């Protein structure tokens, strides 16, 4: 399905979504509250069937955190990018690990490095860093006076 | 650059050969012969943590071929390796693994720090929470090679420099055993 068609289908599904077509893939911005229900429908709607979440990441924009989900359909071979802005002080969003199992580890990684809390995640622990680690190292304001110098 | 200076450590054989009727006699020190033999068969450990590893593989392959100098074949187990070439960034989580690999190598063992990351944490990654600022914080290093990554010729030069170091005398541990009370 082409980006134009995807845009029409997704607007029907979630009227509040906004779009950015600057890149190769259709970028869809949504509010975090819509995410869990929207994600279910992205996977299960006939014709869309986004059955593979191939990348989950987070960006620290200093004013807020931005979650970025890359989805593809192995049936229809189309891709979309879903973005959601999170509050920097209390970043929370629904987990999608019940929809795409791969998100379980991806979300743990984002939690580990950015401190995003995934609501209803089955096992939200640190992934790469030690369990007693303090802070979120990929945030822009992370400080480590022992290993890092201020530039 | 003076070519002679660079090849000074490559003495042909440590000793004197006296030709006598019906044969000959070689006079030498056993230590020197052992070091000479040892320096010409140093097997590296298959160990690489980032892009320097690609360069190290190039040096192992046919175009540069460190087998020509006695670095015969890379071993995948530290128990069969003589030298560990630290080819790449060492992060805090890798440091205990590197230490364990070094501990598992049989004596005598040698270490080459290849590239900026292994020397000092690197040109890009040093200012982070996760990178060890130089592999010599973890294990002792014999030869350092500058570069990011170093040219294959530079690694060959470092390997030959290591051979020169081995031929020139005692290992670190032998020096320690000879002078047990001195400050380490």
Which domains are present in chain B? Answer: 29-163 (3.40.50.12280)
Note whether B129 contacts A149, CB cutoff 8 Å: no
CATH number, domain at A87? 3.30.460.80
Q: Per the domain annotation, does A27 fall within a domain? A: yes
User: Each residue of B65-120: pLDDT tens digit?
Assistant: 999 988 888 889 999 999 999 999 999 999 999 999 999 999 889 999 999 999 99
CB A107 within 8 A of CB A89: no
Amino acid B180: pLDDT: 64
Considering the domain boundaries, does residue A28 fall inside one? yes
Question: Taking CA atoms, what residue in A is nearest to B132?
Answer: A147
Closest B-chain CA to A113: B129
Query: Does the beta carbon of B128 lie under 8 angstroms from any beta carbon of chain A?
Result: yes
Is A72 a domain residue? yes
> Domain span at residue A59?
3-119
Q: What is the DSSP letter of B142?
A: S
pLDDT grade for B11, boundaries at 50, 70 and 90:
low
Whether A129 maps to a domain, the answer reads no
pTM for the model = 0.79
**Predicted local distance difference test score (pLDDT) of residue B8:** 47
Work out the burial of residue B110: count CB atoms within 10 Å of its CB; fewer than 13 is exposed, 13-18 middle, 19 or more buried: buried
What is the Cα–Cα distance from B115 to B51, expressed in whole angstroms? 10
pLDDT category of residue B5 using cuts at 50, 70 and 90: low
Rounded CA separation B42/B47 (Å): 15
- Give domain status of residue A53, yes or no: yes
Nearest CA distance, A110 vs chain B (angstrom) = 16
β-pair partners for A96: none
Hey, what are A40's tokens? 């279910």
Residue A147 counted as domain residue: no
Average pLDDT of A104-114? 94
| Average per-residue pLDDT for chain B | 85
Predicted local distance difference test score (pLDDT) of residue A42: 92
Residue closest to B130 by CA, chosen among B99, B83, B93 = B93
Per-residue pLDDT at B10: 53
A147–B contact, CB cutoff 8 A: yes
The band of B12, judged by pLDDT with boundaries at 50, 70 and 90, is low
CA distance A53 to A40: 12
User: Choosing among A142, A146, A147, which should be mutated to test the B contact, i.e. which has the most B CBs within 10 A?
Assistant: A147
Structurally, how many domains does chain A consist of? 1
Q: What is the mean pLDDT of residues A63-70?
A: 95
Q: Would the CB atoms of A147 and B129 count as touching at under 8 Å?
A: yes
Q: In what order do the strands lie in the sheet with A79-86?
A: A18-20, A26-30, A79-86, A65-72, A52-60
Residue at A134 is within a domain: no
Mutate to test the interface with A, among B92, B126, B129, B131 (most CBs of A within 10 A): B129
Share of chain A above pLDDT 90, in %: 71
Q: How large is the average pLDDT for residues A37-59?
A: 92
Q: Which pLDDT does position B121 carry in this prediction? A: 87
Restricting to A residues 70-129, those with a Cβ less than 8 Å away from any Cβ of B are 128
pLDDT of residue A127: 92
Q: With CB atoms and an 8 Å threshold, state whether B128 touches A147.
A: yes
pLDDT score of B182: 55
Chain B contact present for A137, CB below 8 A:
yes
pLDDT at A41 over 60: yes
Average pLDDT over residues B150-154: 93
**Is A132 a domain residue?**
no
User: What confidence tier does B165 reach under pLDDT thresholds 50, 70, 90?
Assistant: confident
Higher pLDDT, B172 or B142: B142
Q: Which secondary structure element, helix H or strand E, spans residue A52, and what is its range?
A: strand A52-60
Contact A137 B129 (CB under 8 A): yes
């Amino acid at each position: 399905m082409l980006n134009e068609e995807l845009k029409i289908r997704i607007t029907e599904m979630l009227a509040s979504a906004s779009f950015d077509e600057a890149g190769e893939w259709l970028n869809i911005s949504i509010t975090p509250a819509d995410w869990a229900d929207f994600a279910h429908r992205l996977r299960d709607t006939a014709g869309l069937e986004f059955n593979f979440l191939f990348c989950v990441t987070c960006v620290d924009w200093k004013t807020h955190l931005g979650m970025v989900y890359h989805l593809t359909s192995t049936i229809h071979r189309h891709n979309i990018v879903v973005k959601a802005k999170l509050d920097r002080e209390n970043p929370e969003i629904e987990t999608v690990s019940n929809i795409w199992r791969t998100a379980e580890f991806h979300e743990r990684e984002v939690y580990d490095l950015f401190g995003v809390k995934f609501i209803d995640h089955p096992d939200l622990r640190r992934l790469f860093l030690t369990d007693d680690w303090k802070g979120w190292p990929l945030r822009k304001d992370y400080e480590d006076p022992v290993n890092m110098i201020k530039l | 650059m003076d070519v002679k200076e660079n090849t000074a450590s490559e003495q042909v054989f440590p000793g004197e050969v006296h030709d006598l009727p019906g044969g000959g006699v070689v006079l030498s020190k056993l230590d020197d012969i052992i070091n000479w033999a040892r320096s010409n068969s140093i097997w590296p450990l298959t160990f690489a943590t980032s892009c320097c590893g690609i360069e190290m593989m190039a040096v192992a392959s046919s175009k540069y071929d460190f087998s020509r100098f006695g670095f015969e074949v890379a071993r995948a187990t530290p128990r069969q390796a003589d030298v560990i070439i630290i080819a790449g960034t060492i992060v805090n989580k890798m440091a205990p693994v590197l230490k364990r690999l070094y501990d598992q190598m049989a004596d005598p063992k040698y270490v080459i720090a290849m590239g900026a990351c292994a020397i000092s944490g690197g040109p890009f990654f040093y200012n982070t929470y996760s990178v060890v600022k130089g592999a010599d914080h973890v294990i002792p290093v014999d030869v350092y090679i500058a570069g990011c990554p170093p040219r294959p010729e530079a690694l060959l030069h470092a390997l030959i420099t290591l051979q020169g170091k081995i031929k020139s005398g005692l290992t670190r541990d032998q020096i320690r055993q000879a002078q047990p009370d001195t400050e380490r």
